[in-house]
Structure 1
Amino acid sequence: MKNKKRRREQPRPTIHPRNKYSENPPDFALLASLYPSFSPFVFYGRDGRPRIDWTDFGATRELTRVLLLHDHGLDWWIPDGQLCPTVPNRSNYIHWIEDLLSSEIIPKINNNADNIRGFDIGTGANCIYPLLGASLLGWAFVGSDVTDVALEWAERNVKTNPKISDLIEIRKVDTCMDAVLGEDSSEDLLCNGSKTNPSNGLGRESAPISSYTRDDAVEENSYSGPPILFGVVRDGETFDFCMCNPPFFESMEEAGLNPKTSCGGTSQEMVCPGGEKAFITRIIEDSVRLKQSFRWYTSMVGRKSNLKSLIAKLREVGVTIVKTTEFVQGQTCRWGIAWSFVPPARKIVSPYLAEKSNLSFMLEGLQRQFGAIHVLQSIESFFREAGASCKLNVHSFSVDITASNDHVKGILRNKVALLEESVGGDCEEEPPSCSDTMPCPSDDLSFCIIVFQQIPGTLLVKGSLQRKDGLLSGAFPSIFQRLEEVLKQKFCREKASVAIS
């Protein structure tokens, strides 16, 4: 019972702090008073709070329409039956990608933050990600889709918003391409675009994409639909990221199992053989062919149980880094997965402050001969070997650590070496030392690490930064990630080979 209580007390992920609705959730009563078309869908519960019927497609569509109009200045509509997105949840995804692009984990393609290009896989009739990304952040987008209905309404939703229409291209996927994607071919493959857009350079005539041989291909999977990225991205195109809300289900019967919501959705939007796992696996395989055409490849994931196998697939194909997150909106949880083939940046000490002062990770699949005390002692040894000062408390299962600038550089230099070994990197350059462009911090980094017993074979390791405003605080997430890699290699049955958080 004690362990279960501890597990419930773990902080639950929340809506992204930059999300417009993080502090001010939609006010149904206010929206009903401002938009008469929304008023019929609002009723009041016994507690006096305004509500809508989430099983009514008309209500969810009208809510999305008025939120996009009221909070984003966007005119929007979709016909009956098309997938209706929830604005707060989709905004979370946009802001997470913004975090990835602004991080210094991997180098930027360009230093112009006003020239970000994204690719929305299966943009749908709603075209929600390009509309939000363009209106919130000024990003340019290519949105791809297959069906005529989706393409027609996506185009309409772009054209009815002339302030951002020049930033968005809607591109038709040529379904005849799929017959050759898994076969040996020495001929150039062609792709089609449904719209020209000379203002942002995306609308040139269809160009050949590079041919590939069987040596470039990866193992086949159960996905057998139209092209996703390879065969749609044109030769020479580069993007900062791709994003995707994949078909989550294997059948429409499975898609209809949740009676609490009605967000619509056609079979093309909701279903594919093998479900989201097969669809995202194809994105991974396409990314192997396209490599650094994208700085970040990302996708939403509907089932947490699929994350483990998708991460394993990414390890197999040799990506340099994997990142995951959780999207929370009300009682609904979705996950995000991101990966890259860009070699990791070698910056050791970040000159900016740490975004998080509390971090954690799970040690699952602990080998039977090890317990919490062994992990705790290993944590102490890990930092002592780097020269840091450690104070072990076996009663509270905690270690207080103080590390100087030299200690931090030593720990992270070892991290870079481990990462290169795990992904087959061939860069021989030493990590950079402090210079005039990156001042050497002089104060120490202080933090505490605690080990909690969860269930047999599982431990929770939590780290707390003591001084968030210290000059070395920006190195704390990288140090904690390095510790995670070392502990998983030493104590868990499944070895960690890339950086995961």
Structure 2
Amino acid sequence: MSLNRFMHPRNIYRTPPDFKELAVTYPEFRRHVKQELSGKISLDFQDPAALRALSKTLLHKDFDLEVDLPSDRLIPALPQRLNYILWVEDLLEIVKEDSASDVLEGVDIGTGASCIIPLIACRKNKWKFVATEVDAESISLAQKNVDNNGLKDSIQIIQTESGCVLKEVVEEVGKNFDFCFCNPPFFRDQWEANPEGKSRTPNRPPPISANSASDVEKVTEGGEVEFVRKMIQDSLALGTQVRVYTTMLGKKKSLKIIKNELRKQKVEQFTTTEFCQGRTMRWGVAWTFMKGVDIKKAPTMKHEKPKPPLIYIIPNELKETEYSLSEILSKIKGLMEELKITYQVTHEGKHSVHISLHANENTWSHQRRKKRKLIHKQKLANSKEEKIQHITNAPISEHSKQETLGSSSLLTAGNNQDSGEIKTKSKTEEYTKKICEKDNDSYTVEDSKNLFSKDLNGCKTHMEKEETSYDIPEDQLFTKDKHSFQSSSDVNSVALENTSDSKREEESNFLSQQAAKKQKMESTSSEATDSSGKEGEISTKRPRVGGLDVPGSYLLNCDLQLKKEGNMIILKLLCKDGASGREPMHQVLQFIKNRLK
């Protein structure tokens, strides 16, 4: 699987070079390519001569560099080295100083015969370098490449002793540096360097490209881990004499060891990244002792392994749908339209169908809850309408007369007030006593209407007023008995209406505080639930930057595949690049399971 899409965003090789164009322009490169029957131009990456021709051609075309790459030395991978240089550019933006010179200077530890990093960085960024190397022959070849490109004023090559990493070089030159590069030999011995050695697991495929590196470029005492440990010790002694220290590692297991070593040495400011290109990955580590900077803010290049698909074997006994690929496809299309999920059939064959799905909002979560709320809301509206109609028009029964009397007494209490106390005696008590003294047989519905019409109208007025002022929930307006008001909030509201101004203000403030607390608790609960992804709906909007939608960052972005295998039809959901997660896929699949029965 190609890792090119995980390259640094500024890497020009994110788009692979056009071999046909290169073959037309560069005759030397044309000798190493072949044209297939389809017309495609291909290159044999197992041929060292072909790789060497490709690197030399790209260096000339993209950086105007004439570089000699000997057959017995390492052929540098340009996309990888460019990834490294671009990452160091980002790091220098984090640790830059206002007093720093416009021309940045750095050290390249182990520059190799090609001197590739200093050559590209000098040509691209006008940086200056001190390049170190142990092997005398590699130094001679590197110096030749520097001279041929007119960069001897920008690149100084120094031969160092075995075991010397950085400290001696900085002390010898006698100046501070802005950065350092390091690409140490990966292996500790020839056995480990051998592709058949212990460094390669049996199930790992062989390298896709040839390796012409010499022993001195592949092997060092203790391997890359020991080399970088020495570099860390040198950095502790040098401190801020180098603003940012960086190294590239060839093995993932080395990354964890080096990070633990930095923590052990109390190096607080360090960060890591991945260098992805083609089918090869390397790892970068950087640290600094500069004060007042956060090196972890530097952009990192990370890749994610593809997640396994979600698989569902559709039951072969469906109640409302025929068990065939076409019928199930039609059913799924209907479900997607119901959820307002955009879909596009990208492939439709006899035994398989591929559909691309994406959505910006969550329309599939808590379908049952939404239906229950809708039904409950409709019932409440109907119930309210029936009860109001019943109260205003229907005759009052003997049982409800007594309850209405009690409620009316409560609702009309407090009309008069003495020394802050609500009087208990009122006109309501007087006609209540009169009613109670009457013989039940002589009491008529007409009497009830005459005696209570005024109070019923008053109740209705108070109720409407309190609804507007305090937004009492609908389920508190009426009790199970259709003819009586029994909500404590109603009574308190009426009492509050008739109390003194000071007491009314105090109680109003109390009610406002309680409402605010309730609203805050509901908001907190909702936020906590949303973040958990269990009860509340997950984030329902597509990410935006600067007011614009982020490409490929849909809330749901996946492929749905239907495949007939024997007597079974299998549904698969595969996450695409840029999707915000697998949780939306799980939820959509559950919705399909619930509805596809």
Equivalent-residue separation in structure 2 for 1:449 and 1:269 (angstroms):
51
> Which one of 523, 529, 548 corresponds to residue 393 of structure 1?
529
Equivalent-residue separation in structure 1 for 2:265 and 2:535 (angstroms):
37
Q: Is 2:74–2:217's contact at 8 Å kept on the other side of the alignment?
A: yes
Q: Is 1:107–1:344's contact at 8 Å kept on the other side of the alignment?
A: no
Alignment of 1:115-134 (within 5 A): 115-134=103-122
Deviations 1:212-267 (A, max 9, x none): xxxxxxxxxxxxx4201121222542111111111011233433414432231111
Equivalent-residue separation in structure 2 for 1:91 and 1:359 (angstroms):
17
Residue in 2 that maps onto 1:226: 163
Alignment of 1:480-491 (within 5 A): none
Structure 2 residue 154 is the aligned partner of structure 1 residue 167: yes
Shift of 1:285: 1.2
Aligned residues: CA RMSD: 3.5
The secondary structure found in structure 1 opposite 2:246 is: strand
Residue in 2 that maps onto 1:20: 12
Residue in 1 that maps onto 2:133: 145
AA paired with 1:226? G
Residue in 2 that maps onto 1:214: none
Residues 107, 134 of structure 1: alpha-carbon distance in 2 compared, 3 angstrom cutoff: closer
AA paired with 2:533? F
Equivalent-residue separation in structure 1 for 2:92 and 2:535 (angstroms):
33
Equivalent-residue separation in structure 2 for 1:133 and 1:44 (angstroms):
34
Shift of 1:151: 0.7
Equivalent-residue separation in structure 2 for 1:275 and 1:289 (angstroms):
22
Residue in 2 that maps onto 1:242: 180
AA paired with 1:165? K
Residue in 1 that maps onto 2:82: 91
Residues 108, 38 of structure 1: alpha-carbon distance in 2 compared, 3 angstrom cutoff: same
Equivalent-residue separation in structure 1 for 2:159 and 2:13 (angstroms):
33
The secondary structure found in structure 1 opposite 2:527 is: strand
Residue in 1 that maps onto 2:282: 334
> Which one of 189, 193, 204 corresponds to residue 251 of structure 1?
189
Q: Is 2:185–2:218's contact at 8 Å kept on the other side of the alignment?
A: yes
Q: Which runs of 5+ in 2 are unaligned?
A: 196-205, 305-519, 548-597
Deviations 1:271-292 (A, max 9, x none): 1122111111111111111111
Residue in 1 that maps onto 2:59: 68
Residue in 2 that maps onto 1:306: 254
Q: Which runs of 5+ in 1 are unaligned?
A: 1-7, 176-224, 361-383, 401-447, 451-463, 471-501
Residue in 1 that maps onto 2:97: 108
Structure 2 residue 237 is the aligned partner of structure 1 residue 289: yes
Residues 259, 335 of structure 1: alpha-carbon distance in 2 compared, 3 angstrom cutoff: closer
AA paired with 1:239? F
Q: Is 1:252–1:271's contact at 8 Å kept on the other side of the alignment?
A: yes
TM-score normalised to structure 1 length: 0.57
Residues 57, 392 of structure 1: alpha-carbon distance in 2 compared, 3 angstrom cutoff: same
Deviations 1:60-97 (A, max 9, x none): 11111111011110010022211110111110100000
Residues 449, 305 of structure 1: alpha-carbon distance in 2 compared, 3 angstrom cutoff: farther
Equivalent-residue separation in structure 2 for 1:321 and 1:89 (angstroms):
24
Structure 2 residue 72 is the aligned partner of structure 1 residue 81: yes
Q: Is 1:13–1:327's contact at 8 Å kept on the other side of the alignment?
A: no
Equivalent-residue separation in structure 2 for 1:102 and 1:390 (angstroms):
40
Equivalent-residue separation in structure 2 for 1:327 and 1:359 (angstroms):
9
Shift of 1:394: 5.1
The secondary structure found in structure 2 opposite 1:43 is: strand
Q: Is 1:109–1:295's contact at 8 Å kept on the other side of the alignment?
A: no
Q: Is 1:241–1:296's contact at 8 Å kept on the other side of the alignment?
A: yes
Residue in 2 that maps onto 1:419: none
The secondary structure found in structure 2 opposite 1:344 is: coil
AA paired with 1:57? P
Alignment of 1:183-222 (within 5 A): none
The secondary structure found in structure 2 opposite 1:144 is: strand
AA paired with 2:68? W
The secondary structure found in structure 1 opposite 2:6 is: coil
Equivalent-residue separation in structure 1 for 2:36 and 2:88 (angstroms):
37
The secondary structure found in structure 1 opposite 2:28 is: coil
Equivalent-residue separation in structure 1 for 2:535 and 2:66 (angstroms):
55
Shift of 1:49: 2.9
Shift of 1:146: 1.1
Larger Rg: 2
AA paired with 2:62? D
Alignment of 1:366-405 (within 5 A): 391-393=527-529, 397=533
Sequence identity (%): 37
Equivalent-residue separation in structure 2 for 1:240 and 1:110 (angstroms):
12
Q: Is 2:4–2:277's contact at 8 Å kept on the other side of the alignment?
A: no
AA paired with 1:238? N
Paired positions, count? 315
> Which one of 306, 314, 323 corresponds to residue 271 of structure 2?
323
Residues 389, 317 of structure 1: alpha-carbon distance in 2 compared, 3 angstrom cutoff: farther
The secondary structure found in structure 2 opposite 1:82 is: coil
AA paired with 1:92? N
Shift of 1:466: 4.7
Equivalent-residue separation in structure 2 for 1:396 and 1:19 (angstroms):
38
Residues 346, 34 of structure 1: alpha-carbon distance in 2 compared, 3 angstrom cutoff: closer
Equivalent-residue separation in structure 2 for 1:449 and 1:273 (angstroms):
52
Q: Is 1:94–1:129's contact at 8 Å kept on the other side of the alignment?
A: yes
Shift of 1:270: 0.7
Residues 303, 47 of structure 1: alpha-carbon distance in 2 compared, 3 angstrom cutoff: farther
Equivalent-residue separation in structure 1 for 2:181 and 2:98 (angstroms):
17
The secondary structure found in structure 2 opposite 1:300 is: strand
AA paired with 2:257? S
Equivalent-residue separation in structure 1 for 2:19 and 2:218 (angstroms):
28
Residues 94, 276 of structure 1: alpha-carbon distance in 2 compared, 3 angstrom cutoff: same
Shift of 1:36: 1.0
Residues 59, 238 of structure 1: alpha-carbon distance in 2 compared, 3 angstrom cutoff: same
Structure 2 residue 220 is the aligned partner of structure 1 residue 272: yes
Q: Is 2:130–2:156's contact at 8 Å kept on the other side of the alignment?
A: yes
Q: Is 2:23–2:29's contact at 8 Å kept on the other side of the alignment?
A: yes
Shift of 1:165: 3.1
Shift of 1:127: 0.2
TM-score normalised to structure 2 length: 0.48
Residue in 1 that maps onto 2:20: 29
Deviations 1:352-406 (A, max 9, x none): xx979x999xxxxxxxxxxxxxxxxxxxxxxx9xxx9982235863999xxxxxx
Equivalent-residue separation in structure 2 for 1:359 and 1:147 (angstroms):
35
